[in-house]
């Protein structure tokens, strides 16, 4: 399961200040009953999202349905070590998902609340943003 775009219009993207502010879209629990919501802003890498997904599916023993509500579409570039300044922008090292405060990252349904809370606690330890457990009203 590859969490990166199949193709992009441009290879590299400007850094931008897109991480400021609150998430307006994707801030409500839509699909499942339980959710893991971001409490701080940041960029989640593909490896972090995949590690969290594996932790959830392993803890729930593949029972219930899991939705991943973020997608890593932002290319993160890196210049090689010990390289002098200049020479243009570095090559794309990995992709990341811009996650603002209030954004729902994962949703889960078909499991008990205790199991969902434990699974999301394990997943939260794999992510670089602070999160909280949310139950759909």
Q: Domain of 103: which CATH number?
A: 3.90.1170.10
Residue 18 has pLDDT above 70, yes or no: no
Dist CA 132 CA 101 (whole Å) = 11
| Residue-wise pLDDT tens digits, 29-77 | 999 999 999 999 999 999 999 999 999 999 999 999 999 999 999 999 9
Domain count within the chain: 1
The angle formed by the CA atoms of residues 46, 123 and 38, to the nearest 5 degrees, is: 80
Contact call for residues 71 and 97 (beta carbons, < 8 A): yes
In the sheet that holds 34-38, the strands lie side by side as: 65-68, 104-109, 34-38, 131-135
pTM across the whole model? 0.91
Residue 85 lies in a domain: no
Domain containing 66 equals 34-79+90-135
Dist CA 116 CA 105 (whole Å) = 14
Predicted confidence band at 17 (pLDDT cuts at 50, 70, 90)? confident
């Amino acid at each position: 399961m590859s969490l990166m775009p199949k193709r992009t219009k441009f290879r590299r993207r400007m850094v931008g200040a897109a991480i400021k502010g609150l998430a307006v879209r994707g801030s409500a629990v839509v699909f499942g009953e339980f959710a893991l919501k971001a409490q701080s802003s940041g960029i989640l890498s593909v490896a972090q999202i995949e590690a969290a997904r594996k932790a959830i599916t392993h803890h729930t023993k593949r029972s219930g349905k899991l939705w991943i509500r973020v997608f890593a579409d932002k290319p993160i570039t890196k210049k090689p070590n010990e390289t002098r300044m200049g020479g243009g922008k570095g090559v794309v090292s990995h992709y990341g998902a811009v996650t603002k405060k209030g954004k729902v990252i994962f949703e889960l349904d078909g499991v008990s609340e205790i199991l969902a809370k434990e699974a999301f606690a394990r997943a939260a330890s794999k992510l670089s943003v602070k999160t909280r457990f949310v139950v759909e009203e």
